[in-house]
Amino acid sequence: MLQPSLLELGDPPGPRSLAGSILRHELGRGAFLDLRRAFLAGATELFEALVSQVTWREERRPMYDRVVAVPRLVSFYGPGRALPDPRLEAARALLERHYRRELGEPLATAGLCLYRDGRDSVAWHGDTIGRGASEDTLVAICSLGATRRFLLRPRGGGPSLAFDLAAGDLLVMGGSCQRTFEHAVPKTCRPVGPRISLQFRPAGVR
DNA sequence: GGAATCCACGGTGG
DNA sequence: TCCACCGTGGATTC
Protein backbone atom coordinates (compact mmCIF):
# COMPACT_ATOMS: atom_id res chain seq x y z
CA MET A 1 0.00 0.00 0.00
CA LEU A 2 1.45 3.34 -1.04
CA GLN A 3 1.40 6.30 1.31
CA PRO A 4 -0.19 9.48 0.01
CA SER A 5 2.46 12.10 -0.67
CA LEU A 6 2.90 15.04 1.70
CA LEU A 7 1.60 17.24 -1.10
CA GLU A 8 -1.73 15.47 -0.99
CA LEU A 9 -2.34 15.82 2.71
CA GLY A 10 -3.53 19.42 2.53
CA ASP A 11 -6.17 18.96 -0.17
CA PRO A 12 -9.47 17.12 -0.01
CA PRO A 13 -9.66 14.16 -2.40
CA GLY A 14 -10.77 15.08 -5.92
CA PRO A 15 -9.79 17.55 -8.60
CA ARG A 16 -7.67 20.59 -7.83
CA SER A 17 -7.97 23.97 -9.48
CA LEU A 18 -6.87 24.38 -13.09
CA ALA A 19 -6.47 28.14 -13.20
CA GLY A 20 -2.84 29.18 -13.49
CA SER A 21 -1.50 25.67 -13.05
CA ILE A 22 -1.61 24.41 -16.63
CA LEU A 23 1.47 24.24 -18.84
CA ARG A 24 0.44 24.64 -22.47
CA HIS A 25 2.48 23.20 -25.34
CA GLU A 26 1.66 24.70 -28.73
CA LEU A 27 2.28 21.88 -31.18
CA GLY A 28 1.72 23.75 -34.43
CA ARG A 29 -0.89 23.06 -37.10
CA GLY A 30 -3.54 24.32 -34.69
CA ALA A 31 -2.88 21.67 -32.07
CA PHE A 32 -2.11 22.15 -28.39
CA LEU A 33 -1.42 19.97 -25.39
CA ASP A 34 -2.05 21.07 -21.82
CA LEU A 35 -0.38 19.44 -18.84
CA ARG A 36 -1.46 19.89 -15.23
CA ARG A 37 0.60 17.85 -12.79
CA ALA A 38 -1.11 16.45 -9.67
CA PHE A 39 -4.59 17.53 -10.80
CA LEU A 40 -6.33 14.82 -8.78
CA ALA A 41 -5.67 14.89 -5.05
CA GLY A 42 -5.90 11.54 -3.30
CA ALA A 43 -4.87 9.75 -6.48
CA THR A 44 -3.65 6.65 -4.66
CA GLU A 45 -6.95 6.02 -2.92
CA LEU A 46 -8.96 6.83 -6.07
CA PHE A 47 -6.84 4.41 -8.09
CA GLU A 48 -7.52 1.61 -5.63
CA ALA A 49 -11.25 2.40 -5.53
CA LEU A 50 -11.51 2.24 -9.31
CA VAL A 51 -9.48 -0.96 -9.64
CA SER A 52 -11.88 -2.74 -7.32
CA GLN A 53 -15.20 -1.05 -8.17
CA VAL A 54 -15.15 -0.79 -11.96
CA THR A 55 -16.26 -3.76 -14.04
CA TRP A 56 -13.26 -4.22 -16.30
CA ARG A 57 -13.67 -5.96 -19.64
CA GLU A 58 -11.04 -7.75 -21.63
CA GLU A 59 -11.57 -7.27 -25.36
CA ARG A 60 -10.37 -9.57 -28.10
CA ARG A 61 -9.84 -8.80 -31.73
CA PRO A 62 -8.88 -10.77 -34.80
CA MET A 63 -5.38 -9.89 -35.92
CA TYR A 64 -4.08 -11.70 -38.98
CA ASP A 65 -4.14 -15.44 -38.45
CA ARG A 66 -5.39 -15.40 -34.86
CA VAL A 67 -7.52 -13.66 -32.26
CA VAL A 68 -5.49 -11.64 -29.74
CA ALA A 69 -6.44 -10.05 -26.42
CA VAL A 70 -6.36 -6.26 -26.50
CA PRO A 71 -3.38 -5.43 -24.23
CA ARG A 72 -5.32 -3.53 -21.57
CA LEU A 73 -8.66 -3.80 -19.70
CA VAL A 74 -11.40 -1.31 -20.53
CA SER A 75 -14.66 0.13 -19.24
CA PHE A 76 -16.85 2.68 -21.03
CA TYR A 77 -19.32 5.17 -19.57
CA GLY A 78 -21.49 6.57 -22.34
CA PRO A 79 -23.77 9.64 -22.22
CA GLY A 80 -26.18 9.54 -19.29
CA ARG A 81 -24.37 6.80 -17.43
CA ALA A 82 -23.18 7.83 -13.97
CA LEU A 83 -19.43 7.60 -13.44
CA PRO A 84 -18.19 5.07 -10.87
CA ASP A 85 -16.96 7.70 -8.39
CA PRO A 86 -18.17 11.22 -7.48
CA ARG A 87 -14.59 12.50 -7.80
CA LEU A 88 -14.72 11.68 -11.49
CA GLU A 89 -17.95 13.65 -11.88
CA ALA A 90 -16.28 16.57 -10.09
CA ALA A 91 -13.25 16.37 -12.38
CA ARG A 92 -15.47 16.29 -15.46
CA ALA A 93 -17.46 19.32 -14.30
CA LEU A 94 -14.29 21.27 -13.63
CA LEU A 95 -12.84 20.39 -17.03
CA GLU A 96 -16.06 21.32 -18.84
CA ARG A 97 -16.07 24.68 -17.11
CA HIS A 98 -12.40 25.42 -17.73
CA TYR A 99 -12.49 24.37 -21.41
CA ARG A 100 -15.99 25.61 -22.25
CA ARG A 101 -14.62 27.94 -24.94
CA GLU A 102 -12.57 25.27 -26.77
CA LEU A 103 -15.16 22.57 -26.14
CA GLY A 104 -18.58 24.10 -26.75
CA GLU A 105 -20.26 20.87 -25.67
CA PRO A 106 -20.25 18.48 -22.69
CA LEU A 107 -17.61 15.82 -22.11
CA ALA A 108 -20.36 13.26 -22.45
CA THR A 109 -18.33 10.07 -22.33
CA ALA A 110 -15.63 8.59 -20.14
CA GLY A 111 -13.42 5.71 -21.16
CA LEU A 112 -11.32 3.90 -18.57
CA CYS A 113 -8.30 1.78 -19.44
CA LEU A 114 -6.37 -0.38 -17.01
CA TYR A 115 -2.78 -1.08 -18.04
CA ARG A 116 -1.91 -4.02 -15.79
CA ASP A 117 1.86 -3.88 -16.28
CA GLY A 118 4.52 -2.87 -18.80
CA ARG A 119 3.26 -5.40 -21.33
CA ASP A 120 -0.06 -3.55 -21.62
CA SER A 121 -0.07 -0.69 -24.11
CA VAL A 122 -1.97 1.17 -26.79
CA ALA A 123 -0.67 1.58 -30.34
CA TRP A 124 -0.44 4.87 -32.24
CA HIS A 125 -3.87 6.33 -32.90
CA GLY A 126 -5.93 9.53 -32.90
CA ASP A 127 -9.36 9.84 -31.27
CA THR A 128 -11.14 10.88 -34.44
CA ILE A 129 -13.75 8.21 -35.02
CA GLY A 130 -17.19 9.69 -35.43
CA ARG A 131 -15.94 13.15 -36.28
CA GLY A 132 -15.47 14.76 -39.63
CA ALA A 133 -11.90 15.09 -40.83
CA SER A 134 -12.02 18.86 -40.43
CA GLU A 135 -13.62 19.02 -37.00
CA ASP A 136 -11.55 19.84 -33.91
CA THR A 137 -12.27 18.16 -30.62
CA LEU A 138 -10.83 17.99 -27.13
CA VAL A 139 -9.82 14.94 -25.12
CA ALA A 140 -8.83 15.10 -21.44
CA ILE A 141 -6.86 12.25 -19.88
CA CYS A 142 -6.29 11.74 -16.16
CA SER A 143 -3.62 9.28 -15.11
CA LEU A 144 -3.75 7.18 -11.93
CA GLY A 145 -1.42 4.53 -10.54
CA ALA A 146 2.01 3.84 -12.00
CA THR A 147 3.85 6.37 -14.13
CA ARG A 148 3.79 5.50 -17.84
CA ARG A 149 5.26 7.21 -20.86
CA PHE A 150 2.79 8.94 -23.20
CA LEU A 151 4.05 9.64 -26.73
CA LEU A 152 2.74 12.15 -29.25
CA ARG A 153 3.90 12.56 -32.87
CA PRO A 154 2.68 14.31 -36.02
CA ARG A 155 0.70 12.21 -38.46
CA GLY A 156 2.75 11.41 -41.49
CA GLY A 157 5.97 11.29 -39.52
CA GLY A 158 8.13 13.55 -37.43
CA PRO A 159 9.84 13.60 -34.04
CA SER A 160 7.74 12.38 -31.13
CA LEU A 161 7.21 14.17 -27.83
CA ALA A 162 7.33 12.12 -24.61
CA PHE A 163 5.47 12.88 -21.39
CA ASP A 164 5.83 10.72 -18.29
CA LEU A 165 2.37 10.76 -16.75
CA ALA A 166 2.34 10.20 -12.98
CA ALA A 167 -0.52 9.54 -10.59
CA GLY A 168 -3.03 12.39 -10.61
CA ASP A 169 -1.62 14.12 -13.70
CA LEU A 170 -3.95 15.65 -16.28
CA LEU A 171 -3.16 15.84 -20.00
CA VAL A 172 -5.49 17.61 -22.44
CA MET A 173 -5.22 17.37 -26.21
CA GLY A 174 -7.06 20.14 -28.02
CA GLY A 175 -7.47 22.05 -31.26
CA SER A 176 -6.54 19.96 -34.28
CA CYS A 177 -4.52 17.52 -32.14
CA GLN A 178 -6.62 14.42 -32.80
CA ARG A 179 -6.49 15.01 -36.57
CA THR A 180 -2.92 16.20 -37.01
CA PHE A 181 -1.19 14.15 -34.30
CA GLU A 182 -1.42 10.62 -32.98
CA HIS A 183 -0.56 9.28 -29.55
CA ALA A 184 0.50 6.00 -27.94
CA VAL A 185 1.43 4.34 -24.65
CA PRO A 186 4.22 1.94 -25.61
CA LYS A 187 5.10 -1.31 -23.92
CA THR A 188 8.10 -1.21 -21.62
CA CYS A 189 10.52 -3.84 -20.27
CA ARG A 190 10.96 -1.87 -17.04
CA PRO A 191 9.12 -3.30 -14.05
CA VAL A 192 6.05 -1.09 -13.76
CA GLY A 193 2.86 -1.37 -11.73
CA PRO A 194 -0.73 -0.97 -12.94
CA ARG A 195 -2.01 2.34 -14.32
CA ILE A 196 -5.52 3.61 -15.01
CA SER A 197 -6.17 6.16 -17.74
CA LEU A 198 -9.46 8.13 -17.61
CA GLN A 199 -10.40 9.70 -20.92
CA PHE A 200 -13.13 12.35 -21.06
CA ARG A 201 -14.44 13.09 -24.55
CA PRO A 202 -17.43 14.75 -26.22
CA ALA A 203 -20.14 12.40 -27.46
CA GLY A 204 -19.27 10.62 -30.69
CA VAL A 205 -15.50 10.81 -30.30
CA ARG A 206 -13.50 7.61 -29.91
C1' DG B 1 23.74 -6.47 -24.48
C1' DG B 2 19.40 -4.88 -23.38
C1' DA B 3 15.73 -1.85 -24.22
C1' DA B 4 13.25 1.11 -27.28
C1' DT B 5 11.56 1.87 -31.76
C1' DC B 6 10.24 0.65 -36.48
C1' DC B 7 7.83 -1.97 -39.80
C1' DA B 8 4.74 -5.10 -42.32
C1' DC B 9 1.27 -8.14 -41.94
C1' DG B 10 -4.49 -8.45 -43.26
C1' DG B 11 -9.48 -8.80 -41.44
C1' DT B 12 -12.90 -5.55 -39.94
C1' DG B 13 -16.02 -1.83 -40.00
C1' DG B 14 -17.28 2.77 -41.07
C1' DT C 1 -15.91 -0.02 -52.82
C1' DC C 2 -12.26 1.67 -50.33
C1' DC C 3 -9.24 2.67 -46.76
C1' DA C 4 -7.91 3.74 -41.98
C1' DC C 5 -7.37 1.16 -38.01
C1' DC C 6 -4.46 -1.73 -34.73
C1' DG C 7 -1.47 -5.84 -31.95
C1' DT C 8 2.32 -8.74 -32.76
C1' DG C 9 6.94 -10.13 -33.37
C1' DG C 10 11.12 -9.85 -35.83
C1' DA C 11 14.47 -6.42 -37.42
C1' DT C 12 16.80 -2.44 -36.56
C1' DT C 13 18.45 1.36 -33.94
C1' DC C 14 19.84 3.51 -29.80
Residue A147 lies in a domain: yes
Q: Is residue A141 a contact partner of residue A197, using CB atoms and an 8 Å limit?
A: yes
Nearest CA to A118 out of A153, A143, A147 is that of A147
Residue A92 lies in a domain: yes
Dist CA A37 CA A135 (whole Å): 28
Closest residue to B2 measured CA to C1′: A189
B10 C1' to A66 CA distance, Å: 11
At residue A130's C-alpha, the angle toward residues A161 and A126, to 5°, is 10
Dist CA A59 CA A131 (whole Å): 24
Strand B nucleotides within a 7 Å radius of protein CB atoms: 2-6, 9-12, 14
Strand C nucleotides within a 7 Å radius of protein CB atoms: 5-8
Phi, psi at residue A188, to the nearest 5°?
-140, 150
Q: Is residue A35 a contact partner of residue A42, using CB atoms and an 8 Å limit?
A: no
Dist CA A194 CA A48 (whole Å): 10
Domain with A110 in it: what CATH number? 2.60.120.590
Residue A12 lies in a domain: no
Residue A135 lies in a domain: yes
Q: What is the DSSP string of A159-171?
A: PPEEEEEPTT-EE
Q: Which nucleotide is nearest to A159 (CA to C1')?
A: B5
Of residues 19 to 78 in chain A, which lie within 7 A of strand B by their beta carbon?
A: 62-64
Q: Is residue A25 a contact partner of residue A174, using CB atoms and an 8 Å limit?
A: no
Residue A53 lies in a domain: yes
Strand partners, A112: A75, A198
**Per residue of chain A (206 residues), what is the pLDDT tens digit?**
555 554 445 678 899 988 879 999 999 888 999 999 999 999 999 999 999 999 999 999 988 888 999 999 999 999 889 999 999 999 999 999 999 999 888 999 999 999 999 999 999 998 875 555 567 889 999 999 999 999 999 887 788 899 999 999 999 999 888 888 999 999 999 999 999 999 999 987 66
What is the C-alpha radius of gyration for chain A, rounded to an integer number of angstroms? 16
Residue A48 lies in a domain: yes
B4 C1' to A80 CA distance, Å: 41
Residue A156 lies in a domain: yes
List all residues 6 or more positions away from A205 whose beta carbon is below 8 Å from its beta carbon: A109, A127, A128, A129, A130, A131, A137, A139, A178
Using the CB atom, is residue A160 less than 7 Å from strand B?
yes
Dist CA A87 CA A13 (whole Å): 7
Dist CA A4 CA A45 (whole Å): 8
Q: Could you tell me the residue range of the domain that residue A40 belongs to?
A: 21-201
Number of domains chain A contains: 1
Closest residue to B4 measured CA to C1′: A188
Q: What is the per-residue pLDDT for A151?
A: 94
Q: Which nucleotide is nearest to A206 (CA to C1')?
A: C5
Using the CB atom, is residue A123 less than 7 Å from strand C?
yes
Of residues 44 to 83 in chain A, which lie within 7 A of strand C by their beta carbon?
A: 61, 63-64, 68-71
Nearest CA to A135 out of A156, A113, A112, A105 is that of A105
Q: The dihedral of CA A100, A102, A108, A112: what is its sign?
A: negative
Residue A8 lies in a domain: no
B5 C1' to A153 CA distance, Å: 13
pTM of the model: 0.91
